[in-house]
Amino acid sequence: MLSLPAGRLRHRIEIQNYEMTQDDWGQPIYTWTHWADVWASVEPLQGREFFAAQALQSQTTVRIRMRYRTGVTSQMRVVWGGRFYDIESVIEPQSRRHELQLMCKTSLATP
């Protein structure tokens, strides 16, 4: 039996991986590349605002629940609703390979 009913997974998210490729001269280029599109539940947990570099910044912490998928790491990021979320941790509840929970924060870096 699946622990996540399909009705809860109503958000389509993209998972991206940070990869190194090479340009025409053999120089390394690091870019975010598409890794997977999955159905998930995105749950905002908290938000905060702060000043950084003389500009008001805001940051949101979210929990993303999705069906279990191998290969998801904290070096990846999630794109949802036009925002980028850095994956802080990948949690597998009860170690049963039914569900993954991604604890994420909005990325302050440029896309």
What are the sequence ranges of the domains in the chain?
9-106
- Tell me which of 53 and 82 has the higher pLDDT: 82
Average pLDDT over residues 18-35: 91
Q: Which of 48, 44, 81 is nearest to 65 (CA)?
A: 44
- Tell me which of 61 and 55 has the higher pLDDT: 61
Q: What are the pLDDT digits (tens) for 88-106?
A: 999 998 888 889 999 999 8
State the virtual CA torsion across 65, 71, 73, 78 in degrees, nearest 10. Answer: -50
For residue 79, pLDDT beyond 70? yes
For residue 63, pLDDT beyond 70? yes
pLDDT recorded at residue 60: 82
In which band, very low, low, confident or very high, does the pLDDT at 64 lie, cut at 50, 70 and 90?
very high
Q: Which of 15, 5, 29 is nearest to 78 (CA)?
A: 15
Is the Cβ–Cβ distance between 71 and 8 less than 8 Å?
A: no
Please list, in sequence order, all residues whose beta carbon lies within 8 angstroms of the beta carbon of residue 34, skipping any fewer than 6 positions away.
14, 16
Give me the CATH code for the 9-106 domain, please. 2.40.10.270
Percent of the chain predicted with pLDDT > 70: 79
